[in-house]
Amino acid sequence: MIRAVLLCASLLFAAANPSIAQETAGPPAAQPSAPAAPRAWQSLSPQQQQLLQGFQGKWDSLPPERQQALARGSERWLSMTPEQRAGAQQRFQQWRALPPEQRQLLRQRWQQFKSLPPEQQQRIREQYRRFRQMPPERRQELRRQWRQMSPEQRRRVLHGPPPPPVHRNPR
């Protein structure tokens, strides 16, 4: 399981390479420009308040970023179908089962992903979507190829070949 999660994360980063990722048209994701504003408990819908009731007594002491994240998460949860909720619960249980070091590594990789330009994030998402649509045999073959690559080969897949040396004409 851990290896599969790491592989998926690695494949996401591999997809950032323009030589293997297809360009996709679409609006860039909005980038936060200002610090999050505090969110009043009363501004949450009754359904959100019910879902987040464990935070009610300490809501005002939470950092604004955490309040906003919880509000967005509760909105997302409430918009999910029962099947989507079941899948989310399963992924959360898998996450909780990971060792703390593994979770930290995945958090770091997520931060790396979020620091990429929106166009590159979109290419990675598209490449990951394409990977998930492949037959299991093809995905397994790609995993096998990745495991057999040297660190240099992986670097080239992730980042492309190094730029050619710059030759300057002496004057």
Task: State the pLDDT at residue 163.
Answer: 72
Return all residues near 37 (Cβ < 8 A) that are at least 6 apart.
Answer: 64, 68
Task: State the pLDDT at residue 55.
Answer: 95
Tokens 């599969």: give the residue. Answer: 4
Task: State the pLDDT at residue 29.
Answer: 42
Task: State the pLDDT at residue 33.
Answer: 57
Mean pLDDT by 10 residues, the chain (171 residues): 39 36 36 76 96 95 95 95 96 95 95 93 92 94 93 82 71 58
First-to-last alpha carbon distance for the chain, in angstroms, is 60
